[in-house]
Amino acid sequence: MINFIVKNVESGKTTSLTQKNVGVPTLPEGSQWERNVLNSFAGGKATPTTYEGETTLYRIGGKNGGFWSLEPPPATEYQWRVDYAIKQEFCNDASTLYKMTIPEGSSLGALEGKVGPQGMGLYGGAHQAYIDYRAVPADWIEITPATWK
C-alpha cells in the first residue's frame, strides 16, 4: 500500500489516501455465504468486475456490509427500500450514508448485478456491488447522516 496526498483546490486542505488494489471477493463454493450473496442478485447472477480509481460507490446503513451501489440513494427511504429490496427486519435504520471514492491508481473488485426481489413490494432492480469491505482502506470512505425527503 502507498499513501499519496490529495489537495483540494477550493479549500487548500490536503488529504492522504491509501492506494490499494482490492480483489473480487472469493465466496466459498457451495457455502451458505455464497448462496446468501448470490440470492440477493436478480436471478442469482452476479458478474465479477473491477472498478478503477475515481469511481464512487454508496451504501446506506452500517459500514460493515458488503453491498454497495454505483447509484446514489433515491430521494426517499421508501424508494430506497423498494429499489434495494431492504426489509425492515434487516435491522437497517437507514440513518447513515457511506460514500466510497476509489483513489486514482487504485482498484476495487466486486460482484455486480441487479438487486433481486424480496417480495411484499420490495421489487429490487437497482444496481448493487458486493465487495470485500474489510479490505477497503477506511480513508476511502466518507460518512454522513442520510438525508431523506
Classify residue 85 by its DSSP letter.
Answer: T
Classify residue 73 by its DSSP letter.
Answer: P
Whole-structure pTM value: 0.85
What is the rounded distance in angstroms from the CA atom of residue 99 to the CA atom of residue 122? 24
104-118 pLDDT, tens digit each: 999 999 999 999 998
What's the grid cell of residue 24? 473480487
54-101 pLDDT, tens digit each: 999 999 988 788 999 999 999 999 999 999 999 877 767 899 999 999
The residues pairing with 36 across neighbouring beta strands, listed in sequence order, are none
Classify residue 77 by its DSSP letter.
Answer: H
What is the rounded distance in angstroms from the CA atom of residue 35 to the CA atom of residue 37? 6
